[in-house]
């Protein structure tokens, strides 16, 4: 199997792909980016916290016009994963309002973004309908 890298460093690959957040050890606020400090309590200690791979669609849009180089249409969404909000696309279902709805239950799914010159696959994530 080709070597794989995640699209972003907060995506953990393997048998059980999932997202991991930087959780503030003093207030519990969760962030996905590299942190200087906590935006909520200004603390500087963080620990890694696994994010639930299932959740529900809290908000979505179906983007028909995007920047050059981005295939459309696609569904951009905010997923509430057991209390942690995650930004991601809704995938593996048609991008139309008949197939995507507010409150819809979804689960994390990975897909191949592409392969680089060394043959390494980049793996991205999205959320697909649970049923």
Partner 1 sequence: MASDDIWILGINMTKFGKHPDKDIVDLAAEAAMAALSDGGVTMKDVGVLAAGNLMSAAAGIGQQLQKQIGQTGIPVYNVANACATGATALRTAIMAIKAGETPVGLAVGVEKLSGAGLLAGGARKADSDEWTPSGRYGAVAGVDGRIGTETMPGVFSQVGMEYGHKYGGTSFELFARISEKNHSHSTLNPMAAYQKKMTLEEIMGDVMVAYPNTRPMCSANCDGAAAAVVVSGEYLKTLSLEQQKRAIKVSASILTSDPYQVACQILPDVNTLTRLAATQAYEQAGVSPQDLDLVELHDCFATAELVHYDNLMLCDEGGAVDFFESGATWRDGKTPVNVSGGLESKGHPIAATGIANIWEVCHHLRGEAGDRQIKDAKVGLAHVIGLGSACGVHILERSAA
DSSP per-residue string spanning 90-110: E-SS-SSTTT--TT-EEEEEE
Nearer to partner 1, 57 or 106 (CB): 57
- The nearest distance, CB 33 to Zn ion, in angstroms, is 14
| C-alpha pair distances (Å), 55 with each of 38, 80, 114 | 25, 5, 27
Which residues of the shown chain bind partner 1 in the complex (CB under 8 A)?
5-10, 29, 31-34, 39-40, 57-72, 74, 76-78, 85-89, 97, 102-103, 113-114, 116-118, 120, 122, 124-125
Question: Does 21 interact with Zn ion (rule: CB under 5 A)?
Answer: no
- What is the rounded CA–CA span in Å between residue 87 and residue 31? 11
Pure H helices in the chain: none
Q: Residue from 3, 40, 92, 115 that binds Zn ion (CB under 5 A)? A: 40
Q: Which is nearer to partner 1, 6 or 16 (CB)?
A: 6
Contacts of 71 (CB under 8 A, 6+ apart): none
Please report, as ranges, the residues that interact with Zn ion according to CB under 5 A: 24, 27, 29, 38, 40-41, 43
């Amino acid at each position: 199997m080709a070597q794989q890298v995640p699209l972003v460093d907060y995506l953990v690959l393997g048998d059980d792909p999932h997202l991991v957040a930087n959780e503030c050890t003093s207030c519990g606020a969760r962030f996905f980016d590299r942190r200087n400090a906590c935006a909520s309590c200004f603390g500087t200690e963080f620990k890694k916290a696994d994010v639930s791979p299932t959740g529900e669609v809290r908000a979505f849009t179906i983007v028909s016009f995007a920047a050059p180089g981005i295939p459309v249409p696609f569904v951009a969404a905010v997923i509430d994963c057991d209390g942690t909000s995650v930004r991601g696309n809704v995938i593996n279902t048609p991008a139309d309002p008949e197939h995507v709805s507010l409150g819809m239950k979804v689960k994390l799914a990975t897909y191949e973004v592409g392969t680089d010159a060394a043959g390494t696959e980049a793996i991205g994530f999205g959320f697909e309908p649970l049923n």
